[in-house]
Amino acid sequence: MTSLTSQIPLVSADEWYEFLEAVYAEDTRRREAETEEPLAVGAVGAVGDGALEAWLEVIGGYVREELAADGGEAARGLAPGETVLHQSMGLFGECDAGNSVHIDALLFPDPADALAVAAYYEYVCAHCRRADGVRAVHIISHSLSPAEITSIVAWLDGQWAALGLPDSGAHLVDVGSRFGAVVLGAVRGLSHRGIEGIGVEANAYFAGLAGRTAARYGLADAARFVEARAESEAGLAELSSASIAVFNNVFQFFVPRDDQPEVWETVSSALKPGTLVLSHPSLELVLGELGWSPERLAEWVRPVGVINGSDGDDDDDEAEMTRMYAYVVC
């Protein structure tokens, strides 16, 4: 993927999204032309880190095209008719429609990095195109990127035995699975672990799209997607069978903040002891902000690691990656 940093024009948010879409469509066509065997379609099988990341980029390209064809907002990664909530307080309470742009890291993995250092991001007013007197915008992604999913899969593989995960029959449940890429990446990259992936997703369009994607890429036997709210009976049934439960910013932009304490209450009590919980942001932050004391959190889970943790050096590539905090349910 060409770096976009030097090409970033001084444009409005809508023009910027259009620009990204055009660059990515070109890249998808180039990738298809260069790949003799379809890189993407194939039986479940363990793949190396590089191949898994490349494969997830192909999944992102497929999803972009499907979203566009189905009348979604491919540029922002939104389903047809989907609305995203901006909470007025709590985590991300400072983000509103005027100071935030949504760029999905599965659909646009490279610009998410480029934006962090881009002149557009740091200095440019979308309206007057001047650099003075403006604030930085918040870049919001509702997906993990191919690189982030790959590093989670690699971490799980490396920690598997130490975490006491089963030799076969492990269930990975992505709570709020959106495009399904976490589930698909896990079953593709961890097939030698005999893993089953389950996405629980409240948005009917996304649950359907993820199921179609699994079928298209030969993963329908290993991955399934349930249209359900996590806190519903159907959602809780999946959670109660989880060996690994993933929570990536799941409720913050989708569930009114006043409802979040009860949702967490219900969801947390469904997970059985020994379940590995991966969360971003940390549970200390998410649940602390909702009123859980450190003692209460310690009664539920114990921390076991951080994925994509860095040594604090800002130049470190890992510092750019979403950190996932790992816990085991007590």
Task: Based on the shown chain and the rule CB under 6 A, indicate whether residue 178 belongs to the binding site for ligand SAM.
Answer: yes
Task: Based on the shown chain and the rule CB under 6 A, indicate whether residue 324 belongs to the binding site for ligand SAM.
Answer: no
- Interface with ligand SAM by CB under 6 A: which range of 21-29, 38-46, 68-76, 224-232? 224-232
Give the one residue of 176, 189, 197, 281 binding ligand SAM; rule: CB under 6 A.
Answer: 176
Task: Based on the shown chain and the rule CB under 6 A, indicate whether residue 87 belongs to the binding site for ligand SAM.
Answer: no
Interface positions, 183-212, toward ligand SAM (CB under 6 A): 200-203, 206
Q: Which DSSP string do the residues of 59-103 spell out, in sequence order?
A: HHHHHHHHHHHTTSBTTTTB-TT------SSSTTTT--TTTEEE-
Give the one residue of 95, 115, 230, 287 binding ligand SAM; rule: CB under 6 A.
Answer: 230
Task: Based on the shown chain and the rule CB under 6 A, indicate whether residue 300 belongs to the binding site for ligand SAM.
Answer: no
The sheet that has 244-248: what strands, in order across it?
223-227, 196-201, 171-175, 244-248, 276-280, 324-329, 301-307
Task: Based on the shown chain and the rule CB under 6 A, indicate whether residue 229 belongs to the binding site for ligand SAM.
Answer: yes
Task: Based on the shown chain and the rule CB under 6 A, indicate whether residue 112 belongs to the binding site for ligand SAM.
Answer: no
Closest approach of Cβ 241 to ligand SAM, in Å?
16
Task: Based on the shown chain and the rule CB under 6 A, indicate whether residue 64 belongs to the binding site for ligand SAM.
Answer: no
Tell me if residue 288 falls in helix, strand or coil.
Answer: helix
Give the one residue of 95, 198, 255, 276 binding ligand SAM; rule: CB under 6 A.
Answer: 255
Instruction: Tell me the angle at which helices 260-270 and 233-240 cross, rounded to the nearest 10 degrees.
Output: 40
Residues 6+ apart with CB under 8 A from 23: 2, 4, 7
* Nearest residue to ligand SAM, by Cβ distance, number only: 176
Cα separation, 90 vs 96, whole angstroms = 13
Give the one residue of 151, 249, 279, 308 binding ligand SAM; rule: CB under 6 A.
Answer: 249
Helical H segments across the chain, by residue range: 13-34, 49-69, 109-116, 119-123, 146-159, 181-189, 204-216, 233-240, 260-270, 283-289, 294-300
At position 284, the amino acid (one-letter code) is E
- Interface with ligand SAM by CB under 6 A: which range of 34-42, 120-128, 158-166, 247-255? 247-255
Tell me if residue 179 falls in helix, strand or coil.
Answer: coil
Closest approach of Cβ 251 to ligand SAM, in Å?
5
Give the one residue of 87, 143, 213, 275 binding ligand SAM; rule: CB under 6 A.
Answer: 143
Tell me if residue 140 falls in helix, strand or coil.
Answer: strand
Neighbours of 75 (CB within 10 A): 24
Task: Based on the shown chain and the rule CB under 6 A, indicate whether residue 177 belongs to the binding site for ligand SAM.
Answer: yes
By beta-carbon proximity to ligand SAM, the closer residue of 8 and 111 is 111
Task: Based on the shown chain and the rule CB under 6 A, indicate whether residue 182 belongs to the binding site for ligand SAM.
Answer: yes
Q: Comparing C-alpha atoms, which of 97, 101, 145 is closest to residue 248?
A: 145
Neighbours of 302 (CB within 10 A): 11
DSSP structural state of residue 135: P
Give the one residue of 107, 242, 250, 287 binding ligand SAM; rule: CB under 6 A.
Answer: 250
Task: Based on the shown chain and the rule CB under 6 A, indicate whether residue 278 belongs to the binding site for ligand SAM.
Answer: no
Task: Based on the shown chain and the rule CB under 6 A, indicate whether residue 248 belongs to the binding site for ligand SAM.
Answer: yes
By beta-carbon proximity to ligand SAM, the closer residue of 222 and 235 is 235
Neighbours of 139 (CB within 10 A): 17
Tell me which residues touch ligand SAM (CB under 6 A): 142-144, 174, 176-178, 181-182, 200-203, 206, 229-231, 235, 248-251, 254-255, 263
